[in-house]
Amino acid sequence: MDNCVFCKIIKRELPSTIYYEDDKVIAIKDINPAAPVHVLIIPKEHIVNVKDINESNSQILIDIHKAANKVAEDLGISEKGYRLITNCGAAAGQTVFHLHYHLLGGVDMGPKIL
């Protein structure tokens, strides 16, 4: 957890462009965007990925989705649509092992993810 890049961003040890923050989550600009709008929504509590969601921390999923709605509205993509994705494990493409969601939009992405 000490080398977790998101933990360092949350603690303000690394710079980031913050779009939204409350006591549970932070939403930041992705430094390697895959779409015109690409925001990472990250819980402040260190959770590795969705496999680590349990009865005691499941509220974070609601908090993440509420933040996604707010960010999408603020960035003007709420009405047209956006994609919300999380990767779970290395084989799924997870490279930072701290739960986070990618909010992607600002372009017609079509029906397929791959």
Residue 2: its pLDDT value, please?
63
pLDDT in tens, 30-76: 999 999 999 999 999 999 999 999 999 999 999 999 999 999 999 99
Both tokens assigned to 5? 């890049």
Q: Could you tell me the pLDDT band of residue 84, with boundaries at 50, 70 and 90?
A: very high
Model pTM? 0.94
Burial of 101 (0-12, 13-18, 19+ CB in 10 A): buried
Q: 88: which residues sit within 8 A by CB, 6+ positions away?
A: 49, 50, 51, 94
- Calpha distance 32→13 (Å, rounded): 19
Q: Which of 46, 65, 98, 100 is catalytic?
A: 100
Residue 100 annotated among the catalytic residues of the structure: yes
Domains in the chain, CATH or no CATH each: 5-105 (3.30.428.10)
